[in-house]
Amino acid sequence: MDDASRAALLSELQAQADGPQQRHEIHERASGQALCSALGAALLLFIGGWLVSLPSIIHMRSAQWLCWVPGALLLAAGLALLACAEAFSRRNGRRAMLLTADGVQFANAREATPWDCFDAFEIQQHHLRLALVFSVMAGQRVQGLTPPCFKSLAAPDARLVAAGMRLRLWLFNPMLDGRRLDIEELTELLYAYLQAAQARRTLGKLFPEVQRFSAVRHSTGQ
C-alpha cells in the first residue's frame, strides 16, 4: 500500500470512526397488539362460556360433552389470549435498547454490550413483528444477560441463540422519541453505530498511534 492509499484509508476510517455520539433509547409500542388480544380473549370467553352453559339452558339430557369439550377449549384459549393481552400491555412503552457510541444495552442486561462484540446484524420482518439478530464475533461472548423465561413475554428481552453465536430480539413496533421507526430507519441507525465500532477496531490494528490519539481526544472532549 503506497502513501496515498494509506492516507486515503486513514482518512476514511477516521471519518467512519467518529460515528454517532448521541444516546438513543428504542422503546416498544404494543398497545394495538394488547387491544386486539383482549378483544379476541373476550370473544372466546363469551362463546366458551355460552357453550358450557348451553346444556343447562336447553335442558340437554344426553351428549352434554358435545358442548362442554369445545366450550372448555375455547375458555382455555380465551384465558391464554387474555394472559397475552396483559403481557403485551406491559411491553407497551418499555425500553428495548439503549444505544450509545460504546455499546448497546438490552432490557434484560445489567450492563451495555460493546459494539465490538458484534460483526453484523440483520432485521427479519415477520407478521405483525420483527426480529433483530446480531451476529457475535468469534471469540467474543455477550455478558450480563438475564436468562429469558416465560415472563419475558411481558418485556422486550434479548436472548442468545445458536450456541451463543447470535443474539435475537423481537419487537412489535420500535419507537424513537415517540415516533415509529420503519425497517430502513432502524437499519441505518444501528449500522451507523456498528460501522463506527468496526472502523475504530480497524484503526487500532492498522494505525494504533492514530487510534490512541483519537481515544484520548474523545475522552477529553476535544
Per-residue pLDDT reduced to its tens digit, 5-51:
666 666 666 766 777 889 999 999 999 999 999 999 999 999 999 99
- Supply the Cα-derived Rg of the chain in whole angstroms: 25
Q: Summarize pLDDT for 103-158 with one digit per residue, the tens.
A: 999 988 888 999 989 989 999 888 888 999 999 988 888 888 887 666 667 888 89
Exposure of 172 by Cβ count < 10 A (0-12 exposed, 13-18 middle, 19+ buried)?
buried
pTM above 0.85, yes or no: no
Residues 179 and 85 in one domain: no
| 160-to-23, 169, 176, 221 alpha-carbon distances in Å | 24, 9, 24, 35
pLDDT > 60? residue 220 = no
Identify whether residues 67 and 150 lie together within a single domain.
no
If asked whether residues 84 and 106 sit together in one domain, one would say no
Q: Kindly state whether residues 100 and 170 are assigned to the same domain.
A: yes
Domain that holds residue 114: 3-29+94-220
Q: Are residues 146 and 75 in the same domain?
A: no
The pLDDT value recorded for residue 27 is 95
For 80-95, write each residue's pLDDT tens digit: 999 999 999 999 999 9
Contact 55, 68 (CB under 8 A): yes
Residues 129 and 29: their CA atoms lie apart, in Å, by 11
Q: Which of 75, 91, 107 is the last residue of a domain?
A: 91
